[in-house]
Amino acid sequence: MVNLNRNEIAYLFDKNPDITVELEPANGWLFSLKKPFNVKIIKVLNSDLEYISDININVVYCDASDLDFDNPAAIDGEIKAFTVTNNGQASAEVAEIIVELVDDTRIFGQEWLVGDNDGVEVDDSSTLIIAANPKRKYAIIYNDADPNETYDEVPIIYLGLGQNAVVNKGPVILPGGFYEITHINMFKGIVNAICSIAGPINVSFTEGT
């Protein structure tokens, strides 16, 4: 995952097609909403306002299910996060990401959380993922291992909330899965992670304050 700053978020979501943000091959952007929205469609466009091929859009619904879509993505459901990934061989120059709601209105940049989502490599020892943050309002943590790959041993991530992470204890994240911290299970201390295999496995996250 690649981290975006507030200006880049504005360029992508706030009707500014003259400025593009580069998304390199095999990289992605994770976007988390401040609150759930009932979304009809997501479009990823270039500066000519054409759909960019080789873009994958993975959407996390409010029931914790997630689905992959080509571009554009016909969502038709309440979502809380999505990832835009460049599956092509060349860099994609993204001018706009349009998120339309079922009532045909559009979500703009101020609705998205901005946080560090570069990711941390995790092996079979406890590793700090997110530092303690008294202002935390939301966080989502992903196991970036490919859920479609065949493994001799499945790379499972275990979290330690406020303590060292230990295999077979604490919240579990399977390959391609995620764990959320919301107002329901709010925790503002350190978050550690450990992998069930030597790895390393990339664990990406974003945090909202």
What percentage of the chain carries pLDDT values higher than 70? Answer: 93
pTM tops 0.75:
no
Instruction: Enumerate residues 6+ apart whose C-beta is below 8 A from 29.
Output: 1, 2, 4, 23, 83, 84, 117
Q: Higher-confidence residue: 98 or 178?
A: 98
pLDDT band for 118, please (50, 70, 90 cuts): low
pLDDT at 128 over 90: yes
Residues 161 and 68 in one domain: no
**Do 156 and 200 fall within a single domain?**
yes
Q: Which residues, including other chains, have CB under 8 Å from residue 152's CB and lie 6 or more apart? A: none
The whole-chain average pLDDT of the chain stands at 87
Per-residue model confidence as pLDDT tens digits over 33-64: 877 889 999 999 999 999 999 999 999 888 87
- φ/ψ of 62, rounded to 5, equals -70, -15
Question: Averaging pLDDT over each range in 28-37, 86-95, 180-189, which range is the top one?
Answer: 86-95
Instruction: Determine phi and psi for 45, rounding to 5 degrees.
Output: -120, 155
How far apart CA 96 and CA 21 sit, in angstroms, is 9
Residue 1 domain flag? no
| pLDDT in the model for residue 114 | 58
pLDDT at 148: 81
- CB environment 72-82: b (16+ within 10 A), e (fewer): bbebebebbbb
Last residue of a domain, one of 78, 112, 146: 112
Question: Do residues 70 and 56 lie in contact, with contact meaning Cβ atoms separated by under 8 Å?
Answer: yes
Neighbours of 208 (CB within 10 A): 19
Task: Answer yes or no: do 147 and 174 share one domain.
Answer: yes
At 174 the pLDDT is 92
For residue 27, what are the domain limits? Answer: 6-112
- Count up the domains in the chain and report the number: 2
What local confidence, expressed as pLDDT, does residue 137 receive?
Answer: 77
What local confidence, expressed as pLDDT, does residue 90 receive?
93
* CATH code: domain of residue 100: 2.60.120.260
Distance between CA atoms of residues 76 and 64, nearest Å: 15
